[in-house]
Amino acid sequence: MPSQSFLMLATALLSSVLVSPVAGQLYTDCNPLNATCPADPALGTEHTFYFNATPPTGTFNTTAGTVDYSVDQGAAFTINKKGESPTLISNFYFFFGRTEVHLKAASGTGIISSIVWSSDVLDEVDWEFLGGNATHASTNYFGKGQPDFHNAGYHPVDGGVQDDYHNYTCVWTKEKLEWYIDTKLIRTLLPEDANNTLYYPQTPMKLSLGIWAGGDPDQPKGTIEWAGGVTDYSRPYTMYVKSAQVEDYSTGKEYSYGDHSGSWESIKIASGNSTAYENINRQPEKSLSEKWNDLPSSTKSGVYAAAGGVGALLFVALAFYYIRQRRRGKQEAALLAQRQEQERVELERFKKEGRNPDALAFDGADYDAKSGMATTTYAMDSPPGSAAGPPEKAWDPTGSGATGAAMPLLRDDAMSPHHANSGSGFSGSPQNNNFSPVRSQSPGLPPQFPPPASPVNRSFSPSNAPGRMGSPGAQSSYGVPRINSPAPNRGPGSPGSPGAGHGPYGGYGGAR
């Protein structure tokens, strides 16, 4: 053996003596050597955990940091700062069995990569890799938590422990415990060699994979020396684990201690499937494509038919909606075109007549008090015969064809009541308790009204025509306001009389 290798081995052996009291002191929630403790859940089967993804739910817990998973490198355990020691700890126990871990150790002074078995009574089996020693792997064991300064062993690894993955395997029975590197047996422990079986690991174990800083400045001096020196936290340190195969040589649901001896004979095995077994064998949620592929062909045909029917209904509904919308659009377009054509025709008519459609006259009738005539004005845009337009054959006394024509407000012909009663002082008989304000013709005076050139059209009665019988508006004579009902006979000086006792009306001022 070269002198350098011999020196490194001697240093490692010395360090193992210094670290043994520390490495053997694990923690347990309940120690069956001193108390009655809950049963431990069993693995009860064999399974290989591939760390290209998160382990099955309920199989491992992550403590003191984070673990990252990747397809190429597996699980990455990284120390980024002081106080971190990321670790995966199994939720299951195996009672005698085998583990095979493919691991690449981290480099760095004071950094420890580890594979650890541990039990409730602090039995322990270790693989440890010092970051300052790239060529050797360390093996160790403890029984009942008791320190032993001569249990560690250091073994050279072909190709080194930090540059590539290696297979680190332990096989454990009640007869012996064996360590293998890349399927090569490197160490065997017999029960009689472990203080006559007292310190031989023999109780149900759980598996831990992790990295920690033995060279942390807060560690005891002996631990720092064993780890190879003080750890520098200025850079990260990473251990990689691709897979871990775990086989439980016992089958059952859980393991419990029958007494406080801590011997394998005291372990009781409950039958049934363990929680870990159920978690490992639980079928993952299938994707939609996988669920579809699992359907029988008859079900698929039914689904296709139903989908086709639904698609056809949707197509018909969309087609109906499209056709209806097109019809409605056509109708609205036709109505719009009709309105536009009407407006165009009307505008053309206005242009031909030389009228401005924005300056149309107000519809109505005006009264001329001086001439006693009512002038009807029709809307310029209303055709003859319409409600707002002139009659079709409107009377035109001047023959000028004007849109506004004057007409006499009162009759003065043989039909007038004053012709029948020309000798009396009244101008006519009362009708509807009203008297016509028409006077008889006085000799030597010009006629009150010009004789009509043609019969008067009595169908038109302006609302403000004075002295009209049955007129719904206020009655007036020559501009004097009148009321619809006659008042009692008044004497001289009454309103509406031009003078008391004068004029052709005698004592009356006018017909009431």
Catalytic annotation, residues: 124, 128
C-alpha 508/C-alpha 123 separation (Å) is 146
DSSP string, 9-39: HHHHHHHHHHHHHHHT----S--TTTS--PP
DSSP string, 439-462: PPPPTTS--SSPPPSS---TT---
**Angle, vertex CA 307, rays to CA 304 and CA 313, nearest 5:** 140
C-alpha 497/C-alpha 365 separation (Å) is 28
Is beta strand 67-70 parallel, antiparallel or unpaired with respect to 74-79?
antiparallel
DSSP string, 417-432: HHHHTTTSSSSS--BT
Residue type, 329: G
Residues in the chain: 512
For residue 193, the SS3 value is helix
CB atoms within 10 A of CB 470: 10
CA distances from 209 to 102, 118, 134, 163, 166 (A): 11, 11, 19, 19, 15
C-alpha 185/C-alpha 218 separation (Å) is 37
| Token pair in block for residue 394 | 């409107």
DSSP string, 113-147: EEEEEEETT--EEEEEEETT-SSEEEEEEEBTTB-
Instruction: List the one residue out of 183, 186, 204 whose CA is nearest residue 97.
Output: 204
